[in-house]
Amino acid sequence: MTRLDRFLDRLERIPLVHLVLGALLVRVAWILACPNAPYSDQSVYHYQAEMLAQGRGYIDLDGNPTNFYPVGYPALLGASYAVFGTRYVVAYGLNLVLAVVAITGAYRLGETLFGARAGKLAALLVAVHPTFILLTTAMASENPFCAALPWALWLLVRLSSEPRQLRAPWLAPAAGVAVALMTYVRPPALLLLSCPAVFGLLARKPVRARTRQWVTDSLVVGLVVFAVLAPWGLRNKRDFDRFSLTSFNAGINLYLGNSPGSNGEWKEEIPLETEDLPQPKSDLVFGKLAREYIVTHPGRYVALSFNRLFHTMRSDTIAPVWDRVGITRRFGKRAIVPLKVVCTLFHWALLFGLAATLWRAGRKHLTVADWQLAWVAALTAAPFILIVGGNRYMLPLMMLVCVWTASVARPRS
């Protein structure tokens, strides 16, 4: 028996609730050691959540209706503020709840795909991931999105793997609700609508049976997603005279990553003549400029895409940056760099661990579960490869990497 096998045996005997409690203790310790204060996007989330809690609607700093940032995270935070008060600690308490959702979701997805031992290891990796720990004191949309992702995938995996006549009737609607709620937080979640078809094609079933199943499941999931998002589309039609199920920032994001002078990542400079345009018009203008640039500079677009992939995945430093106020206040500026190093080392350990895991499994064969995760990994990477890159955009992918790396604990055939 190898050291890995002995470790996995001991881990399997640890109750999941003990892992969750340990993760919560570490996160509470971080909150107490380094209480943070929001800045940049975090300040916007806090303000918009406060306005929603007060019943003033989803408005910008000038008091006008807005749809630039997706409404999902401010709405979730606003509901917490409405119940417990508008204090930063309430946001961090919400993050503790989301940590429980993320850890148990990683366990359930890993267990379903690769067995109980893999599920337990996936939960452990999410529990001890330094970036996820440090994000406890950050107001970031990645917290709810990464927490919901494994549960949404668990539902979608079950759709493709369980016989239609035996599975629960609520499964497809629940998957649709999960995808829709994630879309409220980050619109690229709509890419998950491809999963019923792709997972169905990967399923080991007769062609006619699996085709009928994935077509039906795709229709049900898609209709539920539209039904859940439609109220927001009607709100946008009322306030902006444009029906849109998602936010008005796709165009500017595409432009920031694909325009003259861009290196593929987020940049602050935008044409001055566009600053006073209304949000829907600005979104359309920037999208048009970006598409024209891509069409006229296809080689440059390919180079920018590779550059985005490299710069997004090369390190993991966003959590110490978002916690900079609290870290500087408690430990001084010099503490930020060591925390960046710790997060980046864990980031690379996971990537190398995944490579080793797949090599170990690939010596015989990859399973349907591997190909399912490969597809979803491509979906989560597509926005930061094709649209705009940045250090924060790889976090949903790293949630998947935790589960996939944990497949090293899969039973040996």
Read off the pLDDT of residues 5-36 as tens digits, 9 standing for 90 and up.
888 889 989 999 999 999 999 999 999 999 99
Could you tell me the pTM of the whole model?
0.94
**pLDDT of amino acid 270:** 64
For residues 271 and 236, which has the higher predicted lDDT (pLDDT)? 236
DSSP 333: G
Can you read off the two tokens belonging to residue 215?
Answer: 């077509």
Lowest mean pLDDT across 100-109, 159-168, 313-322: 159-168
- Residue 389's DSSP bridge partners are 265
Residues 198-215: tens digit of each pLDDT: 998 887 666 666 777 888
* Percent of the chain clearing pLDDT 90 (strictly above): 77
Indicate if the pLDDT at residue 185 is higher than 70.
Answer: yes
Indicate if the pLDDT at residue 273 is higher than 60.
Answer: no
Residues 63-84: tens digit of each pLDDT: 999 999 999 999 999 999 999 9
CA-atom Rg of the chain in angstroms? 22
The residue type of 395 is L
**pLDDT of amino acid 269:** 63
Q: 202 near 160, Cβ under 8 Å?
A: yes
Indicate if the pLDDT at residue 272 is higher than 60.
Answer: no
The mean pLDDT value for 54-70 works out to: 93
Query: Nearest CA to 408 among 368, 356, 369?
Result: 356
Report the chain's mean pLDDT, rounded to a whole number: 92
The mean pLDDT value for 145-169 works out to: 90
Nearest 5 degrees, angle CA 199-CA 229-CA 81?
A: 110
The mean pLDDT value for 254-267 works out to: 86
Can you read off the two tokens belonging to residue 343?
Answer: 């997060």
**pLDDT of amino acid 363:** 62
Query: Nearest CA to 134 among 21, 34, 43, 38?
Result: 34
State the pLDDT confidence band at 293, using cuts at 50, 70 and 90: very high
Residues 362-395: tens digit of each pLDDT: 766 788 999 999 999 999 999 999 999 988 899 9
Query: Nearest CA to 394 among 163, 186, 177?
Result: 186
Query: Nearest CA to 217 among 279, 276, 158?
Result: 158
Alpha helices in 34-129 (DSSP H): 41-53, 72-84, 88-114, 116-128
State the pLDDT confidence band at 267, using cuts at 50, 70 and 90: low
Indicate if the pLDDT at residue 413 is higher than 70.
Answer: no
**pLDDT of amino acid 392:** 87
Q: CA-CA distance, 151 to 286, in Å (whole number)? A: 34
Q: CA-CA distance, 110 to 114, in Å (whole number)? A: 6
Indicate if the pLDDT at residue 257 is higher than 60.
Answer: yes
Neighbouring CB atoms inside 10 A of 374's CB total 15
Cβ-count burial of 364 within 10 angstroms (0-12 exposed, 13-18 middle, 19+ buried)?
exposed
**pLDDT of amino acid 5:** 80
- Residue 163 φ/ψ, nearest 5 degrees: -55, 135
* Percent of the chain clearing pLDDT 70 (strictly above): 95
Indicate if the pLDDT at residue 2 is higher than 90.
Answer: no
**pLDDT of amino acid 168:** 86
The tokens 């044409």 sit on which residue? 271
Cβ-count burial of 203 within 10 angstroms (0-12 exposed, 13-18 middle, 19+ buried)?
middle
- Residue 242 φ/ψ, nearest 5 degrees: -145, 120
Residues 87-146: tens digit of each pLDDT: 999 999 999 999 999 999 999 999 999 999 999 999 999 999 999 999 999 999 999 999
